[in-house]
Amino acid sequence: MLPFIHLGPLLVPTFGLMIAAAMVVAYYVMRADMARRGLAAKNSSTAEMFVAVPALCGIVGAKLYHVLETPRELLADPVGQLFSRYGLAWFGGLIAGLAAFVWLARKFAIPLLDMFDAGSAAAAIGYGVGRIGCFLSGDGDYGRPTSLPWGMSFPNGLVPTTERVHPTPIYELIAACVIAWILWRIGTRQVEARSALRAGSVFAAYLILTGLTRFLVEFIRINPRSVFGVLTNAQTASLLCVVAGVALWLRVATRPA
């Protein structure tokens, strides 16, 4: 694994590099989606705002959610916990990112559901690319021990292990690419008016698919079962995403055209 790249006196975290790469990839996907929907011209800076601001807010939200999950450790070492090089919670990032997204949609006077649809494929692929950073840094997001031939050890990771474990970030990368492709295809049907898909359908599918994926992956992750001793915090959040996605899908499916 390669948690850091040494560039002379500089120590560059690979996780940070992949977050930056995720933002770039998400930007190009969102710019194309917004252009085909007529929400913004390809040469405008609108897509940049809708990627950069939610991404930065998402990182802050993910860090805050993570440290607030363990208040005792936060109170014992607030500076160390807040500014550590790892420790991000997916659900916290989702909340903060969505809040920033809503604010920008209102600022640019773009219908909220249309904007959520345009950003769904970008969010999916961006998440997948970001997970490469977790894989490279070995930050503890790997899974349980396994004897499968593709099991890996992370002896030099930020959270090292010499056991062969499930490379769950790679699983999530593959799933994210598949989800992004599915969402793009749904969006194509929506834009080309070949179906009765209403605004919000793509975003509903995003919530369902990403929530279900994270829920299943958590079964082989090393996160503690803190909810009734059965589910992890991420699984609880994932179930909420799935429920919200199903509710939104039913709502838009029954809404008059």
Produce one character per residue of 201-223: b if its CB has 16 or more CB atoms within 10 Å, e if not.
Answer: bbbbbbbbbbbbbbbebbeebbe
Domain limits, the chain: 4-189
Its pTM stands at 0.86
Residue pair 199/240 in contact (Cβ under 8 Å)? The answer is no
First-last CA distance in the chain: 52
Reading the chain (257 residues) residue by residue, the pLDDT tens digits are 788 888 888 888 888 899 889 989 999 999 999 999 999 888 888 888 998 898 888 888 887 877 776 666 766 677 666 666 556 666 677 788 889 999 999 999 999 999 999 999 999 999 999 999 989 998 888 999 999 999 999 998 888 999 999 999 999 999 999 999 999 999 998 888 656 788 999 999 999 999 999 999 999 998 878 777 788 888 988 999 999 999 999 998 766 55
> For residues 60 and 128, what is the distance between their CA atoms, to the nearest angstrom?
19
Residue pair 190/201 in contact (Cβ under 8 Å)? The answer is yes
Structure tokens at 40: 């913004």
> For residues 23 and 65, what is the distance between their CA atoms, to the nearest angstrom?
21
Taking alpha carbons only, the member of 235, 210, 236 closest to residue 221 is 235
Q: How far is CA 257 from the centre of its chain?
A: 31
Q: What is the CA radius of gyration of the chain?
A: 19
